[in-house]
């Protein structure tokens, strides 16, 4: 049995309790064997005075300084298993000492499952050492009965617990938060692939409407069974987009990773490509993080380059970019060409800068004035649950916005 499993066995009695106190068992065995404290101390090679102090502490419940090794010796003499003696030991503790054990257990769980420094950095918690306050914050936030429900009730099927570094823990809470929101939004509309195929070619013109275009498309997707939210980017996660399968329906998360208008549209079409092409795989895996953030086992099975190409072709095809790139220095011509092709001009500039970057040329600074920010477009739909007391606050707002048809 590994250390974690052994400690779990010891801790299990904190919730179940144990009626037999160790001192009662010792006294019964002394009577049965017709021996005294002195006899037992000699048999166990424990100093007489030390053994008497141990007995006294067991009788009073003041056993916080009792050497546990001596307790283990006694367990062997009494023919009591380690698990049972551990339960008896804890049952003999004063309530405040049991509370300290529970606090230690909670602390272990928190450090094993969360990047506490990262959560403090985003303002989700105030103090990485206030274990009880952190546990209360997380349970309230996710609506859990107790902290140990976190990795069982929130996206349990999403993760293998084989590896956790600091970045993974922040990524996990980001993913679990998104998954929890999708579960609670609970889109009532059935997913319809044919309607999605019909909708995608109609998306580009909505990029022209900077304030309401993105939201309008998300509402249309919601009506055909695809829920999309824009969740605040978390430092160190590198997540730009993700696709989930929740209750058999596709759900998409877009982040404001670089806060660019073109990026949110590109990310949306990229994820919609995964919905179309990788539906069965997503059903099996439950979720996929696009790009380098994807789990290793997914990277060889889902083609990100195809999704990138699909997104580009749907928003602003390569042949159109090749035509206008020679006139990119003329804002008037770019604007006219954008209007002609029913696309927001910042998407043209963004795609141009990206293609130039692949050739080793950095044009972002030169055209930064034309690279529109995403803030206005996602203002209505962006979720930032980390500064809320409960994730339910965000869910109610987003569900109401997605279901409003005006």
The three state secondary structure string of 103-122 is HHHHHHHHHHHCCHHHHHHC
Query: What's the pLDDT tens digit per position in 44-94?
Result: 788 888 888 888 877 876 665 556 777 778 888 878 887 777 777 777 777
In DSSP terms, 245 is beta-bridged to 250
Residue 253's SS3 state is: strand
- Assign 186 a pLDDT band (cuts: 50, 70, 90): very high
Q: CA nearest 236: which of 298, 171, 281?
A: 171
Rounded CA gap, 253 and 238, in Å?
Answer: 13
User: Picking from 168-182, 248-262, 281-295, 352-366, which range would have the lowest pLDDT averaged per residue?
Assistant: 281-295
Residue percentage of the chain with pLDDT more than 90: 39
What does the block give as tokens for 403?
């279901």
* Domain segments of the chain as ranges: 3-93, 99-153, 187-314+374-406, 316-373
Which residues lie below 8 Å from residue 342, measured CB to CB, with a gap of 6+? 204, 205, 207, 208
Average pLDDT across the chain, whole number:
83
Q: CA nearest 399: which of 191, 229, 178, 212?
A: 229
Q: Which H or E run includes 247?
A: none
The pLDDT value recorded for residue 194 is 96
Q: CA nearest 81: which of 146, 35, 20, 132?
A: 20
Rounded CA gap, 258 and 255, in Å?
Answer: 8
What does the block give as tokens for 231?
């969740």
Rounded CA gap, 74 and 76, in Å?
Answer: 5
Rounded CA gap, 68 and 352, in Å?
Answer: 69
Q: How far is CA 363 from the centre of its chain?
A: 35
Residue 299's SS3 state is: helix
Per-residue pLDDT for 101 more than 60? yes
- Assign 274 a pLDDT band (cuts: 50, 70, 90): very high
- Assign 164 a pLDDT band (cuts: 50, 70, 90): very low
The pLDDT value recorded for residue 289 is 85
Cβ-contact 85, 63 below 8 angstroms = no
Per-residue pLDDT for 2 more than 50? no
Q: Which is higher by pLDDT, 386 or 93?
A: 386
Q: Which is higher by pLDDT, 225 or 111?
A: 225
Of these ranges, 9-13, 90-94, 280-284, the one predicted with the greatest mean pLDDT is 280-284
Rounded CA gap, 254 and 358, in Å?
Answer: 24
The phi, psi pair for 400, rounded to 5°, reads: -65, -40
Distances (CA, A) of 188 to 175, 191, 193, 222, 402: 22, 9, 16, 9, 12
Which residues lie below 8 Å from residue 288, measured CB to CB, with a gap of 6+? 242, 243, 274, 278, 281, 282, 294, 298, 302
């Amino acid at each position: 049995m590994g250390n974690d499993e052994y400690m779990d066995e010891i801790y299990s009695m904190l919730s179940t309790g144990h009626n037999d106190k160790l001192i009662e068992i010792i006294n019964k065995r002394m009577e049965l064997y017709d021996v005294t404290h002195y006899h037992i101390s000699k048999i166990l090679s424990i100093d007489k005075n030390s053994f008497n102090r141990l007995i006294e502490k067991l009788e009073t419940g003041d056993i916080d300084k009792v050497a546990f090794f001596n307790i283990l010796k006694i367990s062997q003499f009494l023919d009591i298993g380690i698990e049972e003696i551990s339960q008896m030991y804890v049952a003999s503790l004063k309530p405040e000492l049991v509370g300290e054990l529970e606090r230690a257990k909670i602390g272990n769980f928190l450090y094993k499952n969360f990047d506490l420094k990262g959560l403090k950095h985003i303002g989700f918690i105030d103090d990485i050492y206030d274990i009880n306050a952190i546990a209360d914050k997380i349970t309230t936030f996710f609506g859990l009965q107790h902290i140990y429900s976190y990795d069982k009730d929130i996206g349990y099927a999403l993760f293998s617990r084989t590896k956790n570094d600091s970045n993974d823990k922040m990524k996990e809470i980001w993913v679990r938060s998104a998954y929890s929101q999708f579960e609670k939004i609970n889109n009532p509309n059935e997913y319809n692939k044919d309607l999605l195929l019909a909708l995608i070619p109609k998306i580009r013109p909505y990029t022209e409407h900077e304030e309401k275009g993105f939201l309008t498309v998300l509402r249309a997707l919601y009506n055909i069974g695809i829920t999309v939210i824009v969740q605040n980017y978390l430092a160190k996660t590198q997540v730009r987009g993700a696709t989930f399968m929740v209750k058999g329906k596709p759900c998409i998360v877009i982040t404001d990773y670089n806060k660019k208008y073109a990026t949110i549209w590109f990310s949306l079409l990229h994820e919609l490509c995964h919905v179309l092409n990788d539906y069965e795989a997503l059903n099996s895996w439950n979720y996929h993080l696009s790009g380098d953030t994807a789990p290793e086992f997914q990277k060889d099975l889902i083609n990100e380059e195809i999704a990138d190409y699909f997104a580009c072709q749907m928003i602003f095809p390569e042949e159109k970019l090749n035509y206008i790139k020679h006139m990119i220095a003329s804002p008037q011509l770019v604007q006219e060409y954008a209007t002609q092709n029913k696309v927001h001009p910042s998407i043209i500039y963004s795609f141009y800068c990206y293609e130039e970057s692949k050739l080793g040329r950095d044009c972002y600074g030169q055209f930064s004035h034309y690279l529109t920010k995403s803030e206005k477009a996602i203002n209505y739909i962006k979720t930032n649950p980390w500064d809320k007391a409960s994730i339910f606050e965000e869910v109610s707002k987003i569900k109401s916005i997605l279901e409003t048809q005006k």
